[in-house]
Amino acid sequence: MKVFNMCENNSLVAQFMSEIRDKEIQQDRLRFHANIRRLGQILAYEISKTLNYKVRETVTPIATAQCNVVADPVVLGTILRAGLPFHEGFLSYFDHAENAFVSAYRKFIPNTNKFRVYIDYMASPRITDKVLLLVDPMLATGWSMELAYQALLTKGQPKHVHLASVIATDQAIEYLNEKLPTDNITLWTCDIDHELNEKSFISPGLGDCGDLLYGEKE
């Protein structure tokens, strides 16, 4: 699996990452939401460079122009709930994409820091021979991403899969390399952190992305 880490090179990604990690700036929920959406837009643009294109004649008020447009059918898949503003960023660029949604959640085992990941909802079009973008801001263990991927495969075999996150971990990348076919999957992330804490949250990370976006859950 090829991995692209956007923070390996200086760009506005680093600026936005600094802001979403900052516990003081995080208090501005609207700004946090906007930065997650912006990162989705940047990754969408980078991924667009890898797609196939075709020439389309476009009639202007003056003459006819030859324009390159995306030829690949695209399905944009998102893991709820933290993935929603990330999804918005991608969708604002891939506005012709079909959309898929998967609900995945952690359920902790009482009196332990261990948990299982469950999928309890999915809505998706057929994905056979299409390019699947599967986006989730926090790629901690890789379990949710793998389960969402497997669930979406019930809708067909995609031509290529682009996984996208705001923060990934070494552990998640290693796990996905073991569990997923690597010949047609690419991972895009804004940054890579190297540790998980005792509850398998990313460290230094940014906290609970869903809570920061929508408020704490009970």
Residue 111 DSSP code:
T
How high does pLDDT run on average in the chain? 93
pTM exceeds 0.85: yes
Domain containing residue 29: 2-214
The C-alpha atoms of residue 206 and residue 50 are separated, in whole angstroms, by: 29
The C-alpha atoms of residue 65 and residue 18 are separated, in whole angstroms, by: 41
The domain that holds 176 is classified in CATH as: 3.40.50.2020
Q: What is the pLDDT of residues 115-170, one digit of tens each?
A: 777 788 899 999 999 999 999 999 999 999 999 999 999 999 999 999 999 999 99
Using CB atoms within 10 Å of the CB of residue 4, give its burial: 0 to 12 exposed, 13 to 18 middle, 19+ buried.
middle
C-alpha angle with apex 190: 25 to 205, nearest 5 degrees? 50
Counted domains in the chain: 1
pLDDT for residue 85: 95
Q: What is the pLDDT of residues 64-112, one digit of tens each?
A: 999 999 999 999 999 988 889 999 999 999 999 999 999 887 777 776 7
